[in-house]
Amino acid sequence: MADFDVIVIGAGPGGYLAAERAGQAGLKALLIEKQHIGGTCLNEGCIPTKTLLRSSKLYHASVTGQPYAVTVEGAKVDHSAVVARKRAVTASLVAGVKAGLKAAKVKTVEAEAIITGRDADGFAVTAAGETYHGKNLILATGSHPIVPGIPGLADAIKEGFVLTSTEMLEIDSVPSKLCVVGGGVIGLEMATYFAQLGSEIEIVEAAGKVAGNLEADATDVIVKGCEALGMKFHINTKAVSFGKDSVQVECAGKQEEIKCDKVLLCIGRAANTEGYGLESIHVPVENRAIKVDEYCLTGIPGVYAIGDCNGTGMLAHVAYRQAEVAINHILGKEDPMRWAVVPSLVHTEPEAAFTGMTVEEAKAKGIDAVGVKLTMNYSGLYLAENENGTGIMKATFDKKKKTMIGATIVGGPASELITICSMMIDNELPVERMKSYVFPHPTCAEIIREAIFAAKL
């Protein structure tokens, strides 16, 4: 007989929630983690960066309050104290996760896990000198920052001139000048923190725009906000070599040297698939990620992969949802992953969020779609709280079904508002029904109601 109903490898958001949900459902669960309970999100990603940004945004507001008739004399920020608070917040959340696992009666082993094969008792996994057997196996091994083979990069990392986001969160002082290689969500958020604390920032992005899949006009709003903080952007530009105090970049065949105190390297992340013994049970890996279906099954009965390691969406909230999908499948419940309503966020100044399809994406799928674009100033609260605000609200509607199928919000509490749109999209609420909802006034959420009424259907 197998020792456990479920063995989970990796204790990031997906892993620890899968183990907790399994225990709450009465399944005997084992969670194995070789580094940090809470994974990248709690220790080196989402939570630490937002903790830093809370401090920098408060400081920035205190020194730019003149348009609101507010003057703060002697405002200052202590970066070392901010980092200390970040550690305290992380420690508190990790303690909470451990308490939840204990309450769910999950056995936790903090050691490296290696899959050694499959036998009559289930999947065999070794950790800390012990071998455990589980009927089901959930892989939640996470991801790591990509470090390409650019000339001089290895030495620059060794010397501490180039840092990944992991090391950047622990830097002991604010660089006078910081070059950020990679203009995705991580790069923009970290750049925002240091810019608000006074760093001179130059962002190098190889693609034609920053902020990943965010719509171009929404990205423009973010870029203008970043430029207002003094950031300089190098678009369609790639880093070609690293020196001791500079980065050589190239754009349209021309090279330029960027001098700086530190470099933040954040050009993406790759799934962790090596060193876990996946080959022992023939787990399918494609383009460095584990292949899965809508139930997070790998194609091998009883083996699931959730979160960053399956490469479907490297977001903590995706990992959380996939954890529930996998456990529900083990319990025999029909609950597939629904990708149409997964929101994405970027906590810059202003912040942005989007979900569903753009008009262009919808039309490419043969949907008769129409879009609405409004200034966030349609919301009285937004106007009151944002002097010269540049935020926008965009919504995509299916003209035939008369439902919302996508939304983008830039400005205000965009990350908090986007879930309203996701729920409307997922439930395919008719526009006429959506119009009857009462939005409290004054709130920034009223912009969603304005977009609904502006739709020409």
Q: Which amino acid is at 99?
A: A
Apex 306 CA angle, 22 and 308, nearest 5 = 140
Of 133, 282, 347, 441, which residue is the catalytic one? 441
* Cβ atoms of 146 and 269 closer than 8 Å: yes
Is 441 among the catalytic positions? yes
Pick from 120, 200, 136: nearest CA to 8: 136
Count the helix, strand and coil residues of the chain and give each as a percent rounded to the nearest 5.
35, 25, 35
Cross-strand pairs, 179: 202, 263
* Cβ atoms of 326 and 23 closer than 8 Å: no
The H or E element containing residue 120 is none
The rounded distance, in Å, linking the Cα atoms of 193 and 410 is 18
Distances (CA, A) of 348 to 54, 56, 240, 273: 11, 11, 27, 31
Paired sense of beta strands 130-139 and 4-9, if any: parallel
Task: Please give the torsion angle defined by the CA atoms of residues 118, 39, 352 and 165, in that order, rounded to the nearest 10 degrees.
Answer: -120
Taking the mean position of all CA atoms in its chain, how far away is CA 410?
Answer: 17
Active-site annotation, residues: 441
